[in-house]
Amino acid sequence: MNLDLVLSNIISPPILFFVLGMFSVWVKSDLEIPKALAKFFSLYLLLDIGFHGGYELHHNGFSWNIVTTLIACMLLAFVVPVYAFFVLKRKFNTPDAAAVAATFGSISAVTFITAVSFLESAQIHYGGYMVAGMALMESPAIIVGVILFQTFKGKEITLNGKGLYKRPQWGHILKDAFFNGSVLLLVGALLIGIVTGDAGWKAFKPFDSLFKGILTFYLLDNGIVAARRLKALRGSVVFIVSFAILMPLFNALMAILVSNHLLGLGEGDALLFTVLAASASYIAVPAAMRLAIPESNPAFTVPVALGIVFPFNVIVGIPLYFYLIHIL
């Protein structure tokens, strides 16, 4: 391996179109992706990656190594929000710290998909079971975020001027955690891929051939949205930017060490495990936090995850993590 393989991710069409999307906002262009199409792109990517993962699981089955890796994914989702919360608490109030910490405990499906595209371009093998790990990490982070908020809330914020807090609506929170559209589609496609096996994959393969084109359009739209959301971070820029870059790096290093010394993963699976640890959710968790912690400010959760962590991971993080995995 050489650095050309790693650096090629930065000048790949999907990444360059993401940068183009951000640039279009900075120059105040009227470039726009219709919302209906953006939603279709996200649904396609989740369906494709889920089905592909199910097909791989159909061939590989469940081994002890796979089970321990999935358990490690869930543990990350429980542990990461805890230490992220205490760092954020130095700058933010309890509701905002808990909400942002939860996004770091969860995952970004598009970052994961970009890492899969990187591996496929480099013709590096990876296991489809990592899709199951991605699905398992969505819900624990939401629950931990709510627990942190309920545990450390003080008198710093009142609700309706009465000093009272609403009890968390666990039914709604758990429903959103386990059955929100992205998780349901991802897990459902995974199960369908397992059940249909070779016959299903043969019928599905023409659909899968559109993957890179759809990913390119989706990243273009994400670049536009990310650049717009960055405006909400004014006033806390230095702390937020530092945290949003150093936290993924720390999480990635921890995941690389775990994948190498404890799990014994190959380079492809180790990269996907690391990306899951280093990414932050900008869809499911912010939506859940708005319901579970209404006192939190949504102007922080989405811009941090989408405006800083996501660009850093897809442009710099993925090739950097892969390089570190290779040399270690």
pLDDT attached to residue 143: 82
The per-residue b/e assignment along 279-316, b for 16 or more CB within 10 angstroms, e otherwise, is bbbbbbbbbbbeebbebbeeebbbbbbbbbbbbbbbbe
pLDDT attached to residue 97: 92
Residue 87 pLDDT exceeds 70: yes
CATH number at residue 69: 1.20.1530.20
The rounded distance, in Å, linking the Cα atoms of 307 and 319 is 19
Cα 258 to its chain centre, rounded Å, is 19
The rounded distance, in Å, linking the Cα atoms of 294 and 88 is 18
**Tell me: the pLDDT tens digits for 108-162?**
888 998 898 889 888 888 887 888 888 778 778 888 888 888 788 754 444 444 5
Residue 80 pLDDT exceeds 60: yes
Residue 84 pLDDT exceeds 80: yes
Cα 327 to its chain centre, rounded Å, is 25
**Tell me: the pLDDT tens digits for 33-68?**
898 888 888 788 878 877 877 887 777 677 788 889
Task: Kindly state the average pLDDT of the residues 162-178.
Answer: 61
Closest CA to 300 of 250, 229, 249, 246: 229
The H-assigned helical ranges of the chain are 3-7, 13-26, 35-60, 64-88, 94-105, 109-121, 130-136, 138-152, 170-179, 181-208, 211-229, 237-261, 267-278, 284-292, 298-302, 310-312, 318-327
pLDDT attached to residue 189: 85
Residue 248 pLDDT exceeds 50: yes
Residue-level length of the chain: 328
Percent of the chain topping pLDDT 90: 27
Residue 170 pLDDT exceeds 80: no
pLDDT attached to residue 155: 47
Residue 246 pLDDT exceeds 50: yes
Closest CA to 87 of 133, 36, 154, 148: 148
Contact 81, 104 (CB under 8 A): yes
Contact 63, 84 (CB under 8 A): no
pTM of the predicted protein model: 0.76
**Tell me: the pLDDT tens digits for 2-39?**
556 556 656 778 878 888 988 999 899 999 889 888 88
Q: What is the mean pLDDT of the chain?
A: 82
Closest CA to 96 of 236, 202, 206, 230: 236
At 1, which amino acid appears? M
Query: Domain range holding 66?
Result: 3-327
The rounded distance, in Å, linking the Cα atoms of 258 and 39 is 35
Structural domain tally of the chain?
1
- Rank 85-94, 205-214, 227-236 by mean pLDDT and report only the highest: 85-94
pLDDT attached to residue 85: 96
Residue 9 token pair = 């991710």
At 225, which amino acid appears? V
